[in-house]
């Protein structure tokens, strides 16, 4: 309708511009109304915090170390002698004792968080929060400060159990991390930089992350702001249940960068149970070395896509060795659970009870094979094999572009390889072996699924590879075995 056209309605004759203005105002307000509804739909964490924060504690630790002051050693060994005008200067600015007095002890302190899991004073925190502490002080939500003792601590999982002498304490409710999925809201409460009862919130970014030495712990990744002092504090879901212990951050600056990691609470409680009963934690051990399966390796082993965990070494007399596991096997299922990648297998094995027999499904020679493995106990000091770097010249294997030679008896004894292995003595630039990552000094153990006994056998195996086909090659390098996918050059 044209607003300037005559009409019988007096309102439009008298107030045409007012009507137009009202319509525009309503139109402009519609997005704001929708936005307001969106904002009101966000979670309110206040009730959750009020309910759970009384069970969250601040943990401060003190460690006493000897003060080995280099200035004192210098003075006692021909340096500045006592009785000079500089005595007061050194004592005041460098904390030096008077000559003849004992060297003072230095105290270092750190802060962390924790949460109460039982009314009689058991508290969960991180191993690195209390490790090496000579004194542990727990500050409760009601401002009481109590001294705590370490019941048990496990470095591999970064879980520690401590206890204070108190009764009728508030406790947290434990949840199930398996029910948590990426995208769900989570809340952390702790003492970053010593600021007690600090609340931060975010979402679960991913699950099953494996980092560094914590390869037996499938961490929960979040974007919750975690900083120094949050370590050991609880990670809550929206039901107010603890699903994890905040343990670490990924940071280039030392501060929060949106990558925070928590230990699943079910795994932590399993550690706690073992610490209470035995004072130590027993983890399952398979006895193999693993590497990821990339696209090239998957094709060379006959897989449709990269999947599973590739075994590149089986330790002698290990559970895997006794069960018939071989280098080149790709684990695709463990105890009826699929193994999608290398990161998934160590936590599965580590959480298996020592002595249990589990079914392990592997791909071998492009077929699935089921093995029954009785899991052993993980040790901290597994011995690795040593590698020879002998550079004697040998015959050339042209389709790979390498110079290869048989191992000497001394080399075989050193490497514990009584009847297998060929050493790579030289390699051509831009050759198939070089492109695959083979290096001089590598020992070729297996080629295309066959054990390599001599350089002459290796030559025959290479010549038998069809044109354009990629095959898996197991090499020993820097005390570790690994598979490489190599496509030999076309025969001349």
The HSE-up count of residue 194 (CA atoms within 13 Å, CB side) is 4
Bridge partners for 136 per DSSP? 61, 148
CA distances 40 to 33, 34, 51, 449, Å, are 11, 10, 22, 61
CATH of domain 284-377: 2.30.42.10
Residue 161: its pLDDT value, please? 96
For the cut 80, the answer to whether the pLDDT of residue 319 exceeds it is yes
| Burial class of residue 11 (count of CB atoms within 10 Å of its CB; 0-12, 13-18, 19+) | exposed
Assign 91 a pLDDT band (cuts: 50, 70, 90). Answer: very low
**Domain boundaries of the chain, sorted by first residue:** 10-40, 43-65+104-281, 68-102, 284-377, 396-486
| CA-closest candidate to residue 113, choices 218, 226, 240, 261 | 226
Q: Which helix (H) or strand (E) holds 465?
A: none
For the cut 80, the answer to whether the pLDDT of residue 1 exceeds it is no
| Residues 242-262: tens digit of each pLDDT | 999 999 887 666 667 788 999
Mean pLDDT value across residues 169-196: 95
Residue 490: its pLDDT value, please? 82
| Residues 268-290: tens digit of each pLDDT | 999 999 988 887 888 999 999 88
Residue 381: its pLDDT value, please? 36
| Residues 407-443: tens digit of each pLDDT | 777 677 667 776 778 888 877 767 888 888 888 788 9
| Catalytic site positions | 128, 158, 231
Residue 213: its pLDDT value, please? 56
| CA-closest candidate to residue 138, choices 117, 119, 155, 116 | 116
For the cut 80, the answer to whether the pLDDT of residue 70 exceeds it is no
Mean pLDDT value across residues 372-378: 94
DSSP alpha helix (H) spans, 6-124: 10-14, 16-40, 46-52, 70-76, 87-94
CA Rg value for the chain: 33
Do residues 146 and 167 lie in contact, with contact meaning Cβ atoms separated by under 8 Å? Answer: no
C-alpha angle 344-347-349 in degrees, rounded to nearest 5: 105
Do residues 366 and 302 lie in contact, with contact meaning Cβ atoms separated by under 8 Å? Answer: yes
Contacts of 391 (CB under 8 A, 6+ apart): 425, 440, 441
Whole-structure pTM value: 0.65
CATH of domain 396-486: 2.30.42.10
Residue 123: its pLDDT value, please? 97
Winning range, highest mean pLDDT, from 109-118, 379-388, 440-449: 109-118
Beta strands in 240-393 (DSSP E): 241-249, 260-264, 284-285, 288-291, 309-314, 330-334, 337-338, 357-364, 367-374, 376-377
Domains 284-377 and 396-486 share a fold: yes
Assign 105 a pLDDT band (cuts: 50, 70, 90). Answer: low
Do residues 448 and 465 lie in contact, with contact meaning Cβ atoms separated by under 8 Å? Answer: yes
Percent of the chain with pLDDT over 90: 51
Assign 65 a pLDDT band (cuts: 50, 70, 90). Answer: low
Assign 163 a pLDDT band (cuts: 50, 70, 90). Answer: very high
The HSE-up count of residue 95 (CA atoms within 13 Å, CB side) is 8
| Burial class of residue 397 (count of CB atoms within 10 Å of its CB; 0-12, 13-18, 19+) | buried
CATH of domain 43-65+104-281: 2.40.10.120
Summary mean pLDDT of the chain:
81
Residue 216: its pLDDT value, please? 80
| CA-closest candidate to residue 113, choices 173, 53, 154 | 53
Residue 212 to residue 339: CA distance in whole angstroms:
20
Q: Which helix (H) or strand (E) holds 318?
A: none
Residue 386: its pLDDT value, please? 28
Assign 66 a pLDDT band (cuts: 50, 70, 90). Answer: low
């Amino acid at each position: 309708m044209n607003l300037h056209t005559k009409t019988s309605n007096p309102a439009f004759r008298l107030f045409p511009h007012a009507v137009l203005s009202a319509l525009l105002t309503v139109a402009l307000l519609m997005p704001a109304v929708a936005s307001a509804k969106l904002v009101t739909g966000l979670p309110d964490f206040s009730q959750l915090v009020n309910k759970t924060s009384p069970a969250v504690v601040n943990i401060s630790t003190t460690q006493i170390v000897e003060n080995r002051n280099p200035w004192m050693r210098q003075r006692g060994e021909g340096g500045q002698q006592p009785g000079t005008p500089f005595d007061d200067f050194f004592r005041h600015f460098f904390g030096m004792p008077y000559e003849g007095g004992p060297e003072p002890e230095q105290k270092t302190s750190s802060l962390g968080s924790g949460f109460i899991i039982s009314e009689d004073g058991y508290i969960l925190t991180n191993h690195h929060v209390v490790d090496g502490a000579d004194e542990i002080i727990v500050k409760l939500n009601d401002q009481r400060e109590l001294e705590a003792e370490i019941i048990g601590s496990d470095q591999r999982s970064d879980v520690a159990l401590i206890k204070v002498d108190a009764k009728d304490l508030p406790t947290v409710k434990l949840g199930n991390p398996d029910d948590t999925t990426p995208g769900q809201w989570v809340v952390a409460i702790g003492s970053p930089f010593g600021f007690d009862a600090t609340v931060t919130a975010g979402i679960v970014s991913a699950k099953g992350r494996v980092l560094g030495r914590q390869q037996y712990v499938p961490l929960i990744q979040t974007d919750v702001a975690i900083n120094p002092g949050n370590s050991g504090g609880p990670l809550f879901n929206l039901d107010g249940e603890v699903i994890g212990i905040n343990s670490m951050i990924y940071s280039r600056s030392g501060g929060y960068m949106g990558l925070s990691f928590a230990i699943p609470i079910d795994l932590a409680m399993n550690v706690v149970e073992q610490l209470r009963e035995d004072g130590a934690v027993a983890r399952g051990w398979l006895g193999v070395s693993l590497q990821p399966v990339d696209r090239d390796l998957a094709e060379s082993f006959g897989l449709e896509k990269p999947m599973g965990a590739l075994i590149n070494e089986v330790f002698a007399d290990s559970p895997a060795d006794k069960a018939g596991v071989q280098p080149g096997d790709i684990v695709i299922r463990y105890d009826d659970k699929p193994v999608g990648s290398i990161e998934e297998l160590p936590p599965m094995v580590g959480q298996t009870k020592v002595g249990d027999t589990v079914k392990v499904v592997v791909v071998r020679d492009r077929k699935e094979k089921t093995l029954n493995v009785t899991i052993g106990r993980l040790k901290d000091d597994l011995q690795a094999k040593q590698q020879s770097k002998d550079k004697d010249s040998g015959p050339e294997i042209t389709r790979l572009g390498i110079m290869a030679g048989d191992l000497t008896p001394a080399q075989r004894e050193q490497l514990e390889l009584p009847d297998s292995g060929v050493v790579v003595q030289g390699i051509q630039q831009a050759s198939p072996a070089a492109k695959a990552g083979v290096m001089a000094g590598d020992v070729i153990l297996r080629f295309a699924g066959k054990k390599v006994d001599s350089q002459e056998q290796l030559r025959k195996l290479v010549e038998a590879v069809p044109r354009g086909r990629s095959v898996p090659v197991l090499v020993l390098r820097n005390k570790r075995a690994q598979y490489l996918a190599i496509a030999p050059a076309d025969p001349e």
